[in-house]
Amino acid sequence: MIKSIPYGKQFISNEDVQAVVDTLKADFLTQGPKINEFEKKFSEYVGSKYAVAVSNGTAALHLCAMALNVNESSNVMTTPITFVASANCVRYCGGNVFFADINPDNFTIDIEKIEQLILSKPKGFFSGIIPVDFAGYPVDLEELKKLADEHDLWIIEDACHAPGGYFMDKKNKKQSCGNGNYADLSIFSFHPVKHIACGEGGMITTNNEELYKKLILLRTHGITKDVNALQENHGGWFYEMQELGYNYRLTDFQAALGISQLARADEGLERRRKIAKKYADSFANRLFIKGQSGYIEGHAYHLYIIKVDRRKELYDFLRLNNIFTQVHYIPVHTSPYYKLLGWKKGDFPLSEEYYDMCLSLPIYPTLTNEEQDFVIEKIVEFYSL
């Protein structure tokens, strides 16, 4: 009997363990030199000017919303098919969340639907958009930014699923997720199921110096010790709290783990793409299974999602065979909290139809060929029963 197969799993190497142990024995436990090193290497990896390491992806989203001055009068759009944090960051700042339905082919937010939503409201109603590179499928930010600029909207790219992902722009140039060329801010998560694991952890990338400085301040209580920024200076101990910030710091030993993981990120991505290709090839001629289609060259394959009939039965059948698939995600607008805010089932039919049929299959760098074959075999067996 094959051991149990989850849908996603972290990969901690001996080098990772050593990197953490070395940092535990060094001078800094919380923010120290490893933070700067992680930020520098991560910004190089995605191609952005700046990076700010924070305690998790949700904190990253919260700080982005704060830095862009989201408040009670802000109206912000996102997709129903995402982890709740993509929407919640707007609520943390008192703003209102609006949803635009998904593109049924690639399951990311539909840019045409965003435009329709914008045009259905008075001019200046919306302040920003939070697109999600869902499952690792990069949103066409060139297209989205054109629309955003026409209506004076900012963009926070939720790239939690897409480190290493990219799309090709109109000049056929690679545009990496989080590179800051289109989005004002991009965020990543280092939760164990994501590509790079820190235990908990997050990163914000940007090319905007002003936003970068604001994020650095907000990450540590809004406190600065920078003598050039102080309004007064009473001596060497002196600091000022200039804004209401939080403690959203990442620790140095988590950053050490992140650095070590980042060094293997491309290798992991390569393996994910191979696994995805094998699933796609195996299901190609089976009408009952529909994958995320369309342009997928720069897909980062955080998830491999199929749409199937009899999803619940398949899920249970696989579970009996020790294969633990997952559903990503329950549409955010149907959660009890968002229902209280006035949203209801039926508001976004394509997202809801997607939810009824979607299933995330096992995909992670240490998934063996034998394990993947077993998953495929069981799915095929289910539909021929």
Whose structure tokens read 């020790």? 322
Pairing mode of beta strands 75-78, 50-54 = unpaired
Given candidates 48, 86, 127, 360, which one binds ligand PLP under the rule CB under 6 A?
86
Question: Identity (one letter) of the amino acid at 189?
Answer: S
Q: What is the CB neighbour count within 10 angstroms for residue 278?
A: 16
Site string for ligand PLP, 50-69 (x = CB under 6 A): ------xxx-----------
* Residue 265 lies near ligand PLP (rule: CB under 6 A): no
* Residue 132 lies near ligand PLP (rule: CB under 6 A): yes
Identify which of residues 202 and 245 has a Cβ nearer to ligand PLP in the complex: 202
* Residue 352 lies near ligand PLP (rule: CB under 6 A): no
Q: Distances from the Cα of 354 to the Cαs of 18, 195, 233, 299, 310, in angstroms?
A: 43, 24, 58, 19, 13
Q: Choose among 293, 274, 292, 304: nearest CA to 369.
A: 274
Segment contacting ligand PLP by CB under 6 A, of 66-74, 79-87, 174-182, 355-363: 79-87
Q: What is the nearest approach in angstroms of ligand PLP to the Cβ of residue 105?
A: 19
Whose structure tokens read 């965003």? 114
* Cβ(206)–Cβ(48) below 8 Å: yes
Identify which of residues 110 and 321 has a Cβ nearer to ligand PLP in the complex: 110
Quickly list DSSP for 300-369.
--S-EEEEETTHHHHHHHHHHTTEE-B-----GGGSHHHHHTT--TTSSHHHHHHHHHEEEEP--TT--H
**Nearest to ligand PLP by Cβ — which residue?**
57
* Residue 102 lies near ligand PLP (rule: CB under 6 A): no
Q: What is the nearest approach in angstroms of ligand PLP to the Cβ of residue 248?
A: 11
* Residue 269 lies near ligand PLP (rule: CB under 6 A): no
Identify which of residues 148 and 198 has a Cβ nearer to ligand PLP in the complex: 198
Identify which of residues 10 and 224 has a Cβ nearer to ligand PLP in the complex: 10
Q: What is the nearest approach in angstroms of ligand PLP to the Cβ of residue 168?
A: 23
* Residue 161 lies near ligand PLP (rule: CB under 6 A): yes
Segment contacting ligand PLP by CB under 6 A, of 98-106, 155-163, 177-185, 312-320: 155-163
Backbone angles phi, psi at 133, to 5 degrees: -75, 70
Identify which of residues 87 and 314 has a Cβ nearer to ligand PLP in the complex: 87
Segment contacting ligand PLP by CB under 6 A, of 142-150, 156-164, 169-177, 316-324: 156-164
* Residue 158 lies near ligand PLP (rule: CB under 6 A): yes
Question: What's the token pair of residue 143?
Answer: 């297209």
Given candidates 23, 74, 82, 254, which one binds ligand PLP under the rule CB under 6 A?
82
Q: What is the nearest approach in angstroms of ligand PLP to the Cβ of residue 128?
A: 16
Alpha-carbon span 320 to 27, nearest angstrom: 49
Identify which of residues 180 and 202 has a Cβ nearer to ligand PLP in the complex: 202
Q: What is the nearest approach in angstroms of ligand PLP to the Cβ of residue 208?
A: 21
* Residue 83 lies near ligand PLP (rule: CB under 6 A): yes
286: left (phi over 0), alpha (psi -120 to 50) or beta: beta
Q: Distances from the Cα of 283 to the Cαs of 252, 363, 364, in angstroms?
A: 44, 15, 19
Alpha-carbon span 321 to 291, nearest angstrom: 22
* Cβ(50)–Cβ(77) below 8 Å: no
Whose structure tokens read 């760098």? 365
* Residue 202 lies near ligand PLP (rule: CB under 6 A): yes
* Residue 191 lies near ligand PLP (rule: CB under 6 A): yes
Q: Choose among 139, 121, 133, 230: nearest CA to 188.
A: 133
* Residue 360 lies near ligand PLP (rule: CB under 6 A): no
Binding site for ligand PLP (CB under 6 A): 56-58, 82-83, 85-86, 132, 158, 160-161, 189, 191, 202
